[in-house]
């Protein structure tokens, strides 16, 4: 990195090892160059200053073991390398539920994005990389909406990420959520089987809608507790589409409490008046088999205090 305004003016060459096999070149650079802005990484890729085996590459190029990656000098005297603030670092550090040599699981707080972008400088992944500067590999295994709290998995090895991706594609990762719905259900169990399609509104806002042209999506809901005008349910994902639980809950006529995107404005005003100031959606359990580990993995994230307090007031 630069010191006193001077550039770190040496070209670096890295040989790809087993832990980075199949990783995209942009993610490889971001994980190796701690604190380097994304804008710098994509600019040098666009200009062809990053080479793999002496050839220009696109950001989506996936690496193979033995590839030689040329990294240009880090000329960033005019670009401040931003780091996550101490408050965010402490918050994420305190949210770690489990860690071993392959996996890291956090109880993601509501309001924190899983990664930077769209007006957010730092998310969970950037913060964890700053907390683990010695870690050669750290990647998200799945995602949660910014306003959703709960279990979020990260892989510490490329082989672990590949195994997690295979498990998710084959439906062997069980993901369970707790959600408070606006409305009262009579049935104890309901399955939402409705295809979902991503859309972009004229305002530029991205939303998901039930659409027969969309991708297959299945959510299984089960009532946990009924209140006067709301219902606490457990939602189990059969598929993993963007905003799936939120849109399926809306489709059933009972949007999630506090959902500013898919809920009703007047209902959300009532929830805020009662002390609910966030989306009531929490990823409370993750479980899946694991090669070489008897019984596999099972992680549980306790319901955040602000959601428990709101339920107590309803009771």
Beta-bridged to residue 149, according to DSSP, are 282
DSSP state of 132: -
CA of 239: how far to CAs of 146, 235, 248, in Å? 19, 12, 12
For residue 2, what are the contacts with CB-CB under 8 A and spacing of at least 6?
Answer: 8, 74, 75, 76, 77
DSSP 161-176: HHHHHHHHHTT-SEEE
26 is a catalytic site residue: no
Check 67, 86, 93, 145 and give the catalytic one.
145
Contact 197, 244 (CB under 8 A): no
Residue 93: CA atoms inside 13 Å, Cβ hemisphere, count? 11
Distance in angstroms (rounded) separating the CA atoms of residues 128 and 283: 19
Q: Which residues are catalytic?
A: 145
């Amino acid at each position: 990195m630069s010191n006193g305004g001077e550039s770190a003016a040496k070209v670096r060459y890295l040989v790809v090892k087993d832990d980075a096999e199949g990783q995209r070149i942009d993610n490889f650079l971001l994980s190796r160059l701690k604190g380097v802005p994304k804008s710098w990484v994509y600019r040098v890729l666009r200009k062809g200053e990053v080479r793999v085996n002496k050839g220009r590459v696109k950001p989506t190029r996936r690496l193979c073991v033995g590839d030689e990656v040329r990294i240009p000098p880090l000329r960033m005297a005019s670009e401040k390398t931003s780091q996550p603030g101490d408050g965010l670092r402490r918050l994420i550090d305190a949210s770690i539920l489990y860690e071993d040599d392959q996996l890291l699981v956090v109880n993601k707080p509501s309001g924190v994005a899983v990664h930077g972008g769209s007006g957010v400088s730092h998310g969970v992944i950037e913060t964890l990389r700053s907390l683990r500067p010695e870690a050669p590999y750290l990647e998200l295994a799945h995602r949660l909406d910014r306003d959703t709290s709960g279990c979020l998995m990260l892989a510490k090895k490329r082989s672990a990420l590949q195994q997690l991706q295979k498990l998710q594609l084959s439906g062997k990762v069980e993901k369970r959520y707790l959600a408070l719905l606006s409305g009262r259900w009579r049935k104890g169990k309901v399955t939402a089987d409705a295809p979902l399609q991503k859309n972009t509104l004229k305002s530029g806002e991205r939303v998901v809608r039930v659409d027969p042209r969309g991708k297959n999506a299945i959510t299984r809901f089960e009532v946990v507790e009924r209140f006067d005008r709301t219902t606490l349910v457990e939602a189990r994902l059969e598929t993993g589409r963007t905003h799936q639980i939120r849109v399926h809950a809306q489709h059933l006529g009972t949007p999630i409490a506090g959902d500013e995107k898919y809920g009703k404005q007047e209902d959300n005003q009532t929830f805020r008046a009662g002390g609910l100031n966030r989306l009531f959606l929490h990823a409370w359990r993750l479980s899946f088999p694991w090669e070489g580990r008897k019984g596999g993995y099972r992680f549980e994230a306790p319901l955040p205090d602000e959601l428990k307090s709101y339920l107590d007031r309803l009771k």
